[in-house]
Structure 1
Amino acid sequence: MRVRRVRAGLKGWGGVGAMAALCALALSFVLLLPWTTRSPGDGSTGRAGQGVAAGTQAADADCTDPEKRTPTPSSADGPTIAAIKARTGEKRKLIVGVDQNSYRWGYRDPNNTGAELEGFDIDLVHRIAQDILGDPNAVQFKAIPTNQRIPAIQEGRVDMVVRTMTISCTRLNDVAFSAPYFKTGQQVLAPKSSTIKGYDDTLAKKKVCTATGSTANTKLVDDKEAGKIASSVVIAAPVPNQLDCLVRLQLGEVDAVVTDGALAASQAAQDPTVELKGAPFTTEYYGVAMKKDATDLVRRVNQILVEYRASGWQASYDKWLSATLGSDATKSKPPAPQYLSTS
């Protein structure tokens, strides 16, 4: 049975996905591209450039709507943006942490010549680079696993992360986020033949995979401790990269995966032997993550998103996600943004 499932998962795009994922499982940390020595500017005051207000995001005990805790949009340059623009020659690029293994989000299609990064997140990165540096291709992509998203920002390895990253109160303690650019929710992914029906009692005695540092892992652990899911649910040791869970599922090492529904739908498209089980059981929003004190950059990205939602977002959705999430993008569109007041 296990052999048949693995073989079935290696057909068509599923085969490409499985092979890429197997490589990802073994080389999760090797995928990190070389670090670039840089002086991005600390952006700590947020006062350089007309109209750039001081202030950083912060999470607190009363944080209930993290997607609303972002500064107002601005087109003004500040110290962080000035430092990016001051880079010269080949280094004059926006440095962005992305995924290179998430089908239709950030991935390399082996069927395309050159196999350059493409997908919904990648489209947004090009739009940001166009606005800040005047060239959509002025980007240095850094492939980072799920558990390295926050460290990459804090250590200055990247200017920002655009990698299906959910805005959360906990993460606001470590990084700043833009306004939301996508709406999703946690879902269960399991073999079509599985008796699992969703995030319910059918998970009892099942082994579930999540990624380190993911909102899915936090949700599972918290719900098990609170008795909201069966005590017999086995939460497998988290993996460094979310795609590693699909590999473990294909190998029969786990019974199910819990992850963002938008990602799970793409994984189901890669492997026809698995499917989404049940409806989303959370509401989450993806945001662009940046350093906490890079207020000018956060405000600039928020301004770009205002324009991108009006012109660009739908075209990117139609191109990359309509095949997996449906032609009606209503449920995936981010809400009207709400901002922190700045003065």
Structure 2
Amino acid sequence: MNRFMKVLVAGLGAATLCLSAISGAQADGKLQEVLARGKLIVGTGSTNPPWHFQDDKGELVGFDIDIAHILAKGLFNDPSKVEFVTQSSDARIPNITTGQVDITCQAMTVTAPRAQQVAFTIPYYREGVGLLLPKGGKYADYNALKSAGSSVTVAVLQNVYAEDMVHQALPDAKVDQYDSFDLMYQALNSGRSDAAATDLSSLRWFMKKNPDKYVDAGYAWNPQTYSCAVKLGDADWLNFVNTALREAMTGVDFPDYKKSFETWFGVTPPAPTPGFPTEMR
């Protein structure tokens, strides 16, 4: 064999090894791992209704839990094939990067710094801050609150940014901070506060549980994107999750997403319109 042929054979051999390595890496990706295992392992919380909490039977329920079941349905045609790993909020990223869970779905706000550590899926909810009012109370809506200026007192969960956050919507309002949601709602119920500023999802959940007691002031601000998170570097797995979420919000699995959205937020999401896919505009 001449020198040229030897080099050619060696090159072909190296190319074959390279292709085999790539093929093996694809076969060993997270999607194939989950399918082979027969269940999806999801990191989530257990203390934050309506996202993830324990019901009267001690079972995990909530919007994040339903999202996980939607993903399992897409994987196995069986929404029950999920194992939940309950984790604190500060474990959401470490448990992804170390492979303790396949995906985290835990009311996780998308930020650019976090996106350097995990890969975020497409959004499945847009959070914000809203104002909860007592039904039949002194102020009927947001415009009435704003017009009342410094006469209005707003209850809010204690936070270093709480006062500035409230003043983005009501610049002149007095702000009372409380170290628990229970105390915040007690202030509203007793009349010590005229409104309570809280996550829009919590507001909707609270109104759904107490339809005759509270109303939404009709104004929301401070938007935040909620997405699930997966490990960086696995395009097939991220693409699958994105496909499953997209089709739940805009396609064949919309009934599942709609039912969950109505259950936990008391609101019907806009139905996808047949014809041109408007989400591509």
The TM tier, using the shorter chain, reads 0.5 to 0.7
Asked whether the 8 Å contact 1:78–1:297 carries over to 2, the reply is no
Question: Structure 1 residues 280 and 228, CA, compared in 2 at 3 Å: closer, same or farther?
Answer: closer
Task: Identify the structure with bigger relative contact order (alpha carbons < 8 Å, sequence gap 6+).
Answer: 1
Pick from 155, 180, 183 the counterpart of residue 248 of structure 1. 183
Matches of 1:314 and 1:325, distance apart in 2: 15
Question: Structure 1 residues 160 and 282, CA, compared in 2 at 3 Å: closer, same or farther?
Answer: same
Pick from 236, 251, 254 the counterpart of residue 313 of structure 1. 254
Matches of 2:116 and 2:73, distance apart in 1: 29
Pick from 217, 225, 229 the counterpart of residue 289 of structure 1. 229
Deviation at 1:248, TM superposition (A): 2.9
Question: Structure 1 residues 183 and 311, CA, compared in 2 at 3 Å: closer, same or farther?
Answer: farther
Deviation at 1:164, TM superposition (A): 3.2
Question: Is 1:270 the counterpart of 2:192 in the alignment?
Answer: no
Asked whether the 8 Å contact 1:120–1:317 carries over to 2, the reply is no
Aligned to 1:42: none
Asked whether the 8 Å contact 1:94–1:139 carries over to 2, the reply is yes
Matched residue type, 2:209: Q
Pick from 255, 262, 266 the counterpart of residue 325 of structure 1. 266
Question: Is 1:208 the counterpart of 2:151 in the alignment?
Answer: no
Asked whether the 8 Å contact 1:186–1:281 carries over to 2, the reply is yes
Matches of 2:69 and 2:100, distance apart in 1: 19
The two structures, once aligned, show a CA RMSD in angstroms of 4.4
Asked whether the 8 Å contact 1:184–1:332 carries over to 2, the reply is no
SS in 2 for 1:281: strand
Deviation at 1:301, TM superposition (A): 0.5
Q: Deviations over 1:74-111 (max 9, x none)?
A: xx766233444454xxxx5322123445555444442x
SS in 1 for 2:69: helix
Question: Is 1:124 the counterpart of 2:58 in the alignment?
Answer: no
Asked whether the 8 Å contact 1:129–1:135 carries over to 2, the reply is yes
Aligned to 1:160: 103
Question: Is 1:279 the counterpart of 2:219 in the alignment?
Answer: yes
Using the size of structure 2 for normalisation, the TM-score is: 0.63
Please list every run of 5 or more consecutive structure 2 residues that lacks an aligned counterpart in the other structure.
Answer: 1-20
Pick from 189, 199, 216 the counterpart of residue 260 of structure 1. 199
Aligned to 2:31: 81
SS in 1 for 2:107: coil
Matches of 1:275 and 1:135, distance apart in 2: 38
Question: Structure 1 residues 105 and 222, CA, compared in 2 at 3 Å: closer, same or farther?
Answer: same
Question: Structure 1 residues 143 and 307, CA, compared in 2 at 3 Å: closer, same or farther?
Answer: same
Matches of 2:106 and 2:66, distance apart in 1: 12
Matches of 2:199 and 2:169, distance apart in 1: 22
Deviation at 1:125, TM superposition (A): 1.0
Matches of 1:330 and 1:231, distance apart in 2: 34
Aligned to 2:6: none
Question: Is 1:98 the counterpart of 2:44 in the alignment?
Answer: yes
Using the size of structure 1 for normalisation, the TM-score is: 0.54
Counterparts of residues 172-191 of structure 1 (less than 5 Å): 172-189=115-132, 191=134
Matched residue type, 1:298: L
Deviation at 1:222, TM superposition (A): 6.2
SS in 2 for 1:141: strand
Matches of 2:186 and 2:227, distance apart in 1: 32
Question: Structure 1 residues 274 and 171, CA, compared in 2 at 3 Å: closer, same or farther?
Answer: farther
Asked whether the 8 Å contact 1:203–1:233 carries over to 2, the reply is no
Question: Structure 1 residues 177 and 206, CA, compared in 2 at 3 Å: closer, same or farther?
Answer: same
Deviation at 1:140, TM superposition (A): 1.2
Across the two proteins, how many residue pairs are aligned to each other?
Answer: 246
